[in-house]
């Protein structure tokens, strides 16, 4: 049960944004992908979801190659986008029904789980509403509920904290911890390290399309020569300096 990204090079219209990215996430492991805007985080995620075709390298999950068996691969992946993507025509209930149909979940078990998630995120009374009319934070909760409903092996989470209230953030972190304990793999991009480090211990630093370093926050401090008293913002300044000097 492992996600393996090997020698991945890719981007848009033949221009490589990420270069020779290598990353392995083992069962029960969560990795935070951090870097400046434009470093290649979203591009990496798009490749991982099969939305872009790699120029080189491969992505496998449990030995299933994304390029060869995209349908099988996708059944093992759930995604929470940075900006909620809602079907304007579907109610909250129907978003969950579609998820059950698409991932071929057992309806009884899925509804039991859905009810818990909806209660947790205070959406139970909005069951028959159109989420397109929800606030951004509430739409993000719909994306979280749908993703955790799937029981997918790999959770790909893109900058999830924007718009969520503190209660929802705490619940979301709890869910990530639970997912780790049940042996799932998690890849999450974020700038909000204060929240992320409650659930994620390992981080990969992506800079100029390349993973520069992977390790715990303490190891990252050591690698970049940061003092214990230094704010983590200093890391971003260092990455920016590297970009300028490149």
The phi, psi pair for 136, rounded to 5°, reads -60, -45
For 132, the 3-state DSSP assignment is helix
Give the helix ranges, DSSP H, for 80-232. 92-102, 107-120, 136-149, 166-181, 193-196, 217-224
Q: What's the min distance (Å) between Cβ of 216 and another protein?
A: 30
Which of 188/239 has CB closer to another protein?
Answer: 188
Number of Cβ within 10 Å of residue 183's Cβ equals 12
Tokens standing for 2? 């492992």
Q: What's the min distance (Å) between Cβ of 79 and another protein?
A: 5
The helix-helix angle for 107-120 and 136-149 (nearest 10°) equals 150
Which of 99/207 has CB closer to another protein?
Answer: 99
Which of 87/240 has CB closer to another protein?
Answer: 87
Q: What's the min distance (Å) between Cβ of 58 and another protein?
A: 18
Q: What's the min distance (Å) between Cβ of 102 and another protein?
A: 4
Q: What's the min distance (Å) between Cβ of 89 and another protein?
A: 4
Which of 128/227 has CB closer to another protein?
Answer: 128
Binding residues (CB under 8 A) for another protein: these are: 49-51, 53, 71, 74-75, 77, 79, 81, 85, 87-91, 94, 97-99, 101-103, 107, 128-130, 132
The phi, psi pair for 94, rounded to 5°, reads -70, -30
Which of 90/169 has CB closer to another protein?
Answer: 90
Which of 88/225 has CB closer to another protein?
Answer: 88
Q: What's the min distance (Å) between Cβ of 212 and another protein?
A: 28
Which of 131/209 has CB closer to another protein?
Answer: 131
Q: What's the min distance (Å) between Cβ of 4 and another protein?
A: 19
Taking alpha carbons only, the member of 67, 55, 79, 53 closest to residue 4 is 67
Contacts of 38 (CB under 8 A, 6+ apart): none
Distance CA 125, CA 215 (A): 42
Specify the pairing of strand 202-207 against strand 30-34.
parallel
Beta-bridge partner residues of 25: 3
**Per-residue CA distances from 125 to 100, 117, 120, 163 (Å):** 20, 12, 12, 20
């Amino acid at each position: 049960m492992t996600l393996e990204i090997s020698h991945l090079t890719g981007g848009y219209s033949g221009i490589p944004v990420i270069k020779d990215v290598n990353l392995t996430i083992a069962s029960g492991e969560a990795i935070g992908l951090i870097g400046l805007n434009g470093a290649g985080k979203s591009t990496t995620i798009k490749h991982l979801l099969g939305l872009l075709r790699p120029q080189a390298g491969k992505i496998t999950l449990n030995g299933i190659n994304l390029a060869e068996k995209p349908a099988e691969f996708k059944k093992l992946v759930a995604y929470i986008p940075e900006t909620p993507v809602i079907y304007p025509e579907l109610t909250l209930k129907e978003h969950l029904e579609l998820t059950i149909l698409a991932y071929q979940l057992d309806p009884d078990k899925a509804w039991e789980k859905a009810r818990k998630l909806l209660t947790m995120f205070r959406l139970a009374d909005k069951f028959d509403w159109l989420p397109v009319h929800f606030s951004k934070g509430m739409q993000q909760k719909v994306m979280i509920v749908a993703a955790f409903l799937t029981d997918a092996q790999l959770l790909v989470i893109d900058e999830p904290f924007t718009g969520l209230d503190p209660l929802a953030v705490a619940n979301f972190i709890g869910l990530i911890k639970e997912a780790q304990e049940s042996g799932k793999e998690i890849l999450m991009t974020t700038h909000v390290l204060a929240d992320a480090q409650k659930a994620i211990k390992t981080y990969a630093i992506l800079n100029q399309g390349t993973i520069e370093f992977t390790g715990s926050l303490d190891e990252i401090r050591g690698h970049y020569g940061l003092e214990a008293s230094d704010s983590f913002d200093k890391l971003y300044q260092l990455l920016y300096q590297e970009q300028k000097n490149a």
